[in-house]
Chains A and B, each alone.
Chain A
């Protein structure tokens, strides 16, 4: 069943399935329901990294170098850990600047230079051509093998005429398929959602197919991984393959392959396409960071077992190890598995070819052909006509040419190398972008000339040390070029440049090309300061991750006509799309339609970014310049704008900080004002209370005095009574005034305190003695419950007596006449003295228990009962007790009497310090 026609039919069915998926993906994208807006699909699309190189070539590589195939996957794993910085920055920059390819990226960074974009494109095309030929070679070999079933014919060298060569047709079919995929309609400015969906599917297919072979070889042909390794280790030659140092020519090679692969994952045009250009959301990067390395790990699990298994299985038959994946199932007559493997290989190849050629064709069109056309035939192109068709044709042509170049390379040099060897030549080429790319993203000083010099130097060294030797090995170049150097100059031998030996040819090329590349980039960049255009673009790229940076429009000055801009964009995107784009821009700026647009810097910038998506940033700038009168900014002006922007940022941060401080200060002031108002209110209340308290005795004094003056006939007993009232009211007045003064002194802190050792027992006894007359007058029983001896405390004896006397006289006021009982207790514990004065009076209502300590507030209803005190006794007592660090409170139930209790700490500081 594995005859040619069947295999071809299956292949086309598979391609048709892919096409259907892509078609569906595009339809969904048009409907706004993207199927690729998913982090897993994003990670799978990155797995386009695994081409037939991985699929067939890894086993071939492992059969020669053992674990030496691994660095190609360890490098990307390591680089993905840096994805959070590097890839995020690339994605954000690309989105902000409508960048569609790596050539555009570099050209845009260094002042939108057309020359630089062109050079990058040339390097990319020349560098990638061997890689494409690798895919063609792999598909051709696998087809020849499977079509030759049941024979196991290892493909021989030698090609027939082109028209009888399978590879040629494969190249044409792939070209047609890619053209269908990537350039069906002018989607130049948009992403290729359908293509990404198909690539993600292909990634699944190739992983499953490879996994199936792996399981088959490991568990079908052998008894598990352990068995394979056990048998292989028995063979000293195979055992070598499990070592790094001997198997893969040492750690230097290991390191340079890791580095190379790590750079490739960033700068291969197809990786840039799927990772940066086709990225739907930055958030997807998060999962890809670990899911993509996981994919790499899975697809490599069985590589070494298959390689060792194949080497032992085909021992002595001279079978090409690159074909083991396919020939092992074939030799075991597993036709279905062989077919699945073939389809998996086709997946690996088509995925790579489609994405790579679409990416390259975009570069060729935008950065190579368009600039040339715009330059040479400016008159014709400026005519009023729709150029979108032309763009599409250029891209289609580029795809075909690139694939034919790949075929050409396959014919010229394809046989000299194993699959991986060809791929590494391409990796080394794209690695030349690293200095200009990474330098451009992190170093403001890099200039256009520096990038040009670096790229050119690296490219030339690469061509001399890797590309030319690959032709030479195939016999298209004299072999003496390799063995003796050009014109017999030993020092210039391409694999031992300047006599450098001891490195394999890849590490050798990497060293010399990077030395030349980085050296030229840095040296030439430092020759002169960046120009205005370079400096402004450098800021856009280097500060890409900063939240605030000057927008591109801030760096444009000139005049233009809106209608001209719309027409210009229309010629490249098609008039309808241009109208839609400008209409939506107008709506965003609150205008009714595109007719009313003013051609200010923002609009010019918008038009340029639309064009940049279609024809690349360098061409876009040139085209906009052709319709707009731009006043070039000088370098100082650009620097001023950039400085202003950063100063503005500083100022605005400063302003924010000041305003926050101001708010805080305002809050404090408000609180202080509230406090002052409260104090003021209290003072008013106090004055009102004091006036009231003073007026009451004054009124009665005055009234009785008037009676005595006006009525001389008043009886003597009445006179005596009246005079008694006058005297007692005067005493009350005196007391009141004294207490007010006392209170004021204590509150203002001017009171004098005579602090000494005080015996609280003595204080209580003296106080009781002082007030004993009051108790006797009212017939109140006073009992004392004192401790035998209490510790001395440091306090003012007279003040404490004032407190106790106050409490005693309060108590005697409220207890009933002749039935009153007042108890004074004094106790000491470890920390404090506690004095309580308990009476059997009417008690104090709960709501009054707090307020009685306020000035002029007395228990009971002020309206009905006559006040019996000044209302300052308790507040003063409270102040005194608190001054010595103690507490004064009341415990009472209405009808049950009341207990006034105060405590004084034994170890108070000398002067209290309650505050």
Chain B
């Protein structure tokens, strides 16, 4: 129980991060004519943030070693 609520809260935090980074006004900071590694800045920014979010989500839901989770496993 403890574990699921903690994971849930972490996911909500990831949601909030994504929501802020994917929308105005943060988005507008990167919405200009510039390039990053030869890619248009906003294009590179969106995909990098996107990939970062996915990594974060994977880390939150798949991570091992939480004490409570081990208990869950032992119990189940």
- The chain A residues found within 8 Å of chain B, CB to CB, are 67, 70, 74, 77-78, 80-85, 225-226, 229-230, 233, 239, 242-245, 251, 254-255, 258, 286-287, 289-290, 293-294, 297, 301, 304
Contact = CB atoms under 8 A, between A and B. Distances in A.
Interface in B20-59: 22-24, 27-28, 31-33, 35, 37-40, 42-43, 46-47, 50-51, 53-54, 57-58
A229 B18 contact: no
10 contacts: A78-B22, A82-B11, A84-B61, A85-B11, A233-B35, A243-B33, A254-B27, A258-B23, A293-B50, A293-B54
A251 B42 contact: no
Contacts of A225: 38-39
A289 B46 CA distance: 19
Contacts of A289: 11, 57, 61
Contacts of A254: 23-24, 27
B46 A67 contact: yes
A233 B35 CA distance: 10
Contacts of B68: none
B46 to A, nearest CB: 6
Given A74-B22, A81-B18, A294-B54, A233 B28 contact: no
Interface residues of B, number: 34
B24 A286 contact: no
Given A70-B46, A251-B23, A293 B57 contact: yes
A38 to B, nearest CB: 15
B33 A81 contact: no
B interface, over-half SS:
helix
A293 B47 CA distance: 12
Contacts of B35: 229, 233
Contacts of B28: 244-245, 251
Given A286-B62, A289-B61, A243 B54 contact: no
A300 to B, nearest CB: 8
Contacts, number: 101
A81 B11 CA distance: 5
Contact of B62 (A85, A287, A297): A287
Contact of A81 (B15, B31, B39): B15
Nearest to B76: A283
A534 to B, nearest CB: 28
A515 to B, nearest CB: 21
Given A226-B37, A297-B51, A304 B57 contact: no
A139 to B, nearest CB: 29
Contact of B31 (A77, A230, A244, A301): A244
A243 B27 contact: no
Contacts of A301: 47
Given A81-B14, A82-B15, A254-B24, A230 B57 contact: no
Contacts of A230: 38
A785 B33 CA distance: 97
Given A77-B50, A85-B12, A244-B31, 13 more contacts: A74-B18, A74-B46, A81-B14, A82-B12, A83-B11, A85-B8, A229-B39, A233-B35, A258-B23, A286-B61, A286-B62, A289-B11, A290-B62
A608 B18 CA distance: 43
A841 to B, nearest CB: 60
Contacts of B54: 77, 290, 293-294, 297
Given A243-B33, A251-B23, A258-B23, A290 B57 contact: yes
Contacts of B47: 297, 301
A289 B22 CA distance: 18
A84 B4 CA distance: 9
A664 B61 CA distance: 38
Contact of B33 (A82, A85, A239, A304): A239
Contacts of B27: 244, 251, 254
A283 to B, nearest CB: 10
Across chains A and B, which 5 residue pairs bring their CB atoms closest together, nearest first?
Answer: A226-B38, A242-B40, A251-B24, A290-B58, A81-B15
B44 to A, nearest CB: 10
A83 B42 CA distance: 27
Contacts of B38: 225-226, 229-230
A67 B27 CA distance: 12
A91 to B, nearest CB: 14
Contacts of B62: 286-287, 290
A36 B64 CA distance: 25
Contacts of A229: 35, 38-40, 43
Contacts of A287: 61-62
Contacts of B19: 78
B68 to A, nearest CB: 15
Contact of A233 (B4, B31, B40, B50): B40
Given A225-B39, A301-B47, A304-B43, A81 B57 contact: yes
A806 to B, nearest CB: 57
A81 B12 contact: yes
A226 to B, nearest CB: 3
Contacts of A67: 42-43, 46
A301 B51 CA distance: 11
A378 to B, nearest CB: 47
